[in-house]
Amino acid sequence: MEAEFTFDTGIGRPYKNHQLMRILVLNGPNLNLLGTREPSVYGTVTLADIETILRQRAAQLGAELDFRQSNHEGQLIDWIHEAKGRWDTILLNAGAYTHTSIAIRDAIAAADVSTIEVHLSNVMAREPFRHHSMIAPVCRGQIAGFGAQSYLLALEAGVNIKAV
Ligand code: DQA
């Protein structure tokens, strides 16, 4: 039998006895370099820091969380395929593949797992080639521009989607 939790949705309606939410966080290319990579754009927080704060918040929210990173498109696609039926929501920062990968878009559509597009930077305020997202049409929504907070906001949304 699955564990049951009560938590505050943040909108004044506590949601009771929901099943444990399972959140899979996937990070794409170059995000392993956070902390030293273009700090003027991405800040100095590392991916390990983001994982730590997400795990803390997930524990508070009563959510199960796994956190992964790959520089390889095929690996990300395999993880998205495997998510079907195993994870309730994917938080996906696909890095530059966001703007190029029809294959990742097709994987999200095929897996049919609610997926939230996440970016540290405000991609719409950057170079024109970052303004288009291949994956946005098959995602539940997008959160961008808040640095590491983007991930926390996406986690809140992912956990609460089924509660409200
Ligand atoms: C990014 C934005 C992308 O355009 C870029 O290629 C990244 C990081 C972000 O989190 O802001 O690698 O996804």
What string of H, E and C letters represents the secondary structure of 56-123? HHHHHHCEEEEEEECCCHHHHHHHHHHHCCCCCEEEEECCCHHHHCHHHHHHHHHHCCEEEEEECCCH
Between residues 142 and 4, which one has the greater pLDDT?
Answer: 142
Q: What is the pLDDT of residue 9?
A: 54
pLDDT at 17 over 70: no
Q: Sketch the domain layout of the chain as residue ranges.
A: 21-163
Ligand 1, atom 13, residue with closest C-alpha:
95
Q: What CATH architecture applies to the domain 21-163?
A: 3-Layer(aba) Sandwich (3.40)
The verdict on the CB of residue 33 being under 6 Å from ligand 1 is no
% of the chain beyond a pLDDT of 90:
82
Indicate if the pLDDT at residue 2 is higher than 50. Answer: no
29 three-state secondary structure: coil
φ, ψ (nearest 5 deg) of residue 118: -125, 140
pLDDT by residue (tens digit) across 75-134?
999 999 999 999 999 999 999 999 999 999 999 999 999 999 999 999 999 999 999 999
- The pLDDT of residue 146 is 97
Mean pLDDT of 25-41: 96
Q: Is the CB of 70 under 6 A from ligand 1?
A: no
pLDDT of residue 94: 98
Q: How far apart are CA 92 and CA 94, in angstroms?
A: 6
Nearest to 88 by CA among 121, 63, 118: 63
The pLDDT value given to residue 10:
55
Are the C-beta atoms of residues 93 and 26 closer than 8 Å to each other? yes
The protein residue with its alpha carbon nearest to ligand 1, atom 10, reads: 119
CB atoms within 10 A of CB 119: 25
What is the pLDDT confidence band of residue 32, given thresholds at 50, 70 and 90?
A: very high
With a 6 A CB cut-off, is 30 part of the ligand 1 pocket? yes
Pocket test for ligand 1, best of 32, 123, 133 (most atoms within 8 A of CB): 123
pLDDT of residue 18: 52
What is the rounded CA–CA span in Å between residue 68 and residue 77?
12
4, pLDDT greater than 60: no
Which residues partner with 63 through β-bridges? Answer: 21
Ligand 1: which atom is nearest the Cα of residue 126? Answer: 4
Pairing of strands 15-19, 4-7: antiparallel
Give me the pLDDT at residue 161, please.
78
> Which atom number of ligand 1 is nearest to the Cα of residue 42?
11
What pLDDT is stored for residue 77 in this prediction? 98
Q: With a 6 A CB cut-off, is 98 part of the ligand 1 pocket?
A: yes
Residue nearest ligand 1's atom 2 by CA: 95
